[in-house]
């Protein structure tokens, strides 16, 4: 039997947006979680030199693995051997490798709903069983230790993301420690997606490695480092999984792009430039948090980190995909439908990515303000 994988609906909305641009329309892209900025200037300069001087080939950067290991010591106070770092072709292959190393087909893996669409669909594609835990406002849209403790039967695995996509919520350090305690006592293996680390607004995002030494960590250069198109990520695996992870990387993907590995090493030393991007995101976040409630989008998940606003649009729609499509056609502002992230309640949620320039955020607000004013549903249609 071939696994059934649902489509990523935001991709279809984005395709329409690009078709509109090709036809001459002005479009503001807020549908995907990708920075509108490029890689750090020093990384780009090095890449030009490498292209001119090196043939490149299949290669794994030992200096980059060592630099990532040092990052864990400096940032989280966790000792990681460089051999535990597996360089990958972005976070998506890293996630596939993590699941492949940890679970047999049929294993049951718990995750928050709402959550990143590819978690659910990748689990299905790999013949694993996703068990989505309904996480609402009371839980700040995150898995809690109490909810995990209550699960019967006990899942084989757990996927967490902090900051999370689509909500941007962060699991606090005490709750993270409590989740780790439950997983340790019940033998639940953890995959922690930490791709949005570095993108926080106030509090620090803890790594699960601070609490659980055998957690498998997924990260990449796509978000904080502004290198989405370079396709470079990494796994941190416990020592007993090094050989399994390396075998999967070598057979399935060979090596990450050599050019990206060389640029990535330099990107670690470009903090001033990268923190400037975070300051832009913080401004954009403030603009949206001020503007959206005035449009009728007052119920917003706490955007502690990442670069998303996940808003309840019950006042306007029970079909977020159709709603986002019409918003794009009428205003040129492209956002993501919540149904991607939550197949149960997501039809009444929408997600804005604010990883664009501040002038574009301001223009988007200007365009959508009259559009929202004309579309609030009558009270009688607000049922979920």
Distance CA 73, CA 80 (A): 7
Q: Mind listing the pLDDT tens digit for each residue in 160-187?
A: 999 999 999 999 999 999 999 999 999 9
Backbone angles phi, psi at 34, to 5 degrees: -135, 130
Mean pLDDT of the chain: 94
Q: Which residues contact 168 (CB under 8 A, 6 or more apart)?
A: 196, 301, 302, 303, 304, 305, 306, 307, 308, 309, 310
Beta strands in the chain (DSSP E): 28-29, 85-88, 108-113, 129-134, 157-161, 189-193, 216-220, 233-236, 308-312, 333-334, 336-337, 349-353
Q: Is the pTM of this model over 0.85?
A: yes
- Do residues 327 and 368 touch, judged by C-beta distance below 8 A? yes
Tell me if 302 sits within 8 A of 223, measured CB to CB. Answer: no
Please give the pLDDT value at position 4.
Answer: 81
The pLDDT tens digits of the residues spanning 127-161 come to 999 999 999 999 999 999 999 999 999 999 999 99
d(CA 245, CA 199): 27
pLDDT tens-digit readout, 43-96: 999 999 999 988 888 889 999 999 999 999 999 999 999 999 999 999 999 999
Size of the chain, expressed as the number of residues it contains = 384
pLDDT(383) > 50: no
Tell me: the pLDDT tens digits for 278-305?
A: 999 999 999 999 999 999 999 999 999 9
> What does the pLDDT read at residue 380?
36
Domain boundaries along the sequence of the chain: 9-39+272-376, 41-270
The alpha carbon torsion through 230, 350, 352, 206 (nearest 10 deg) reads -70
- Percent above pLDDT 90 for the chain: 91
Element (H, E) at 210: none
With 70 as the cut, is the pLDDT of residue 381 above it? no
**Taking the domain 9-39+272-376, which CATH number applies?**
3.40.640.10
> Which pLDDT tens digit goes with each residue over 81-115?
999 999 999 999 999 999 999 999 999 999 999 99
Two domains, one topology: 9-39+272-376 and 41-270:
yes
pLDDT for the residue 53: 87
Q: Which of 117, 123, 63, 102 is nearest to 248 (CA)?
A: 102
Helix axes of 9-22 and 320-331: crossing angle, nearest 10 degrees: 10
Nearest to 163 by CA among 25, 305, 297: 305
- Rounded to whole angstroms, the Cα distance separating 39 from 19 reads 26
CATH number of this structure's domain 41-270, picked from the four choices 3.40.50.2300, 3.40.640.10, 3.30.1220.10, 3.50.50.60: 3.40.640.10
The 10 Å Cβ neighbour count of residue 77 is 10
């Amino acid at each position: 039997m071939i696994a059934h994988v649902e489509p990523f609906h935001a991709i279809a909305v984005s395709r329409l947006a690009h078709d509109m641009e090709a036809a001459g329309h002005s479009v503001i892209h807020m549908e995907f979680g990708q920075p509108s900025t490029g890689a750090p200037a020093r990384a780009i300069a090095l890449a030009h030199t490498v292209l001119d001087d090196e043939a490149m080939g299949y290669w794994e950067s030992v200096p980059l693995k060592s630099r990532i290991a040092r990052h864990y010591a400096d940032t989280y106070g966790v000792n990681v051997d460089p051999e535990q770092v597996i360089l990958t072709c972005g976070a998506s292959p890293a996630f596939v490798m993590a699941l492949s190393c940890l679970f047999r087909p049929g294993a049951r893996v718990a995750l928050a709903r709402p959550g990143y669409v590819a978690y659910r669909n990748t689990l299905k594609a790999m013949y694993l069983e996703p068990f989505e835990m309904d996480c609402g406002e009371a839980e700040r849209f995150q898995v809690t230790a109490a909810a995990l403790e209550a699960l019967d039967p006990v899942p084989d695995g757990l996927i967490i993301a902090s900051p999370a996509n689509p909500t941007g919520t962060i699991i606090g350090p005490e709750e993270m420690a409590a989740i780790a305690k439950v997983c340790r006592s019940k033998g639940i293996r953890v995959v922690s997606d930490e791709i949005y680390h570095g993108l926080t607004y106030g509090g620090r995002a803890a790594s699960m490695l601070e609490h659980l030494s055998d957690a498998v960590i997924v990260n990449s250069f796509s978000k904080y480092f502004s290198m989405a198109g370079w396709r470079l990520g990494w796994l941190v695996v416990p020592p007993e999984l090094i050989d399994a992870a390396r075998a999967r990387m070598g057979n399935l993907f060979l090596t990450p792009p050599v050019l990206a590995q060389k640029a990535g090493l330099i990107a670690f030393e470009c903090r001033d430039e990268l923190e400037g991007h975070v300051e832009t995101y913080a401004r954009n976040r403030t603009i949206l948090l001020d503007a959206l409630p005035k449009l009728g989008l007052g119920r917003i998940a706490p955007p502690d980190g990442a670069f998303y606003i996940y808003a309840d649009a019950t006042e306007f729609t029970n079909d977020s995909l159709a709603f986002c499509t019409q918003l794009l056609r009428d205003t040129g502002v492209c956002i993501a439908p919540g149904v991607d992230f939550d197949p149960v309640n997501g039809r009444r949620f929408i997600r804005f990515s604010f990883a664009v320039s501040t002038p574009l955020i301001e223009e988007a607000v200007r365009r959508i303000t009259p559009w929202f004013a004309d579309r609030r549903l009558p009270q009688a249609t607000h049922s979920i």
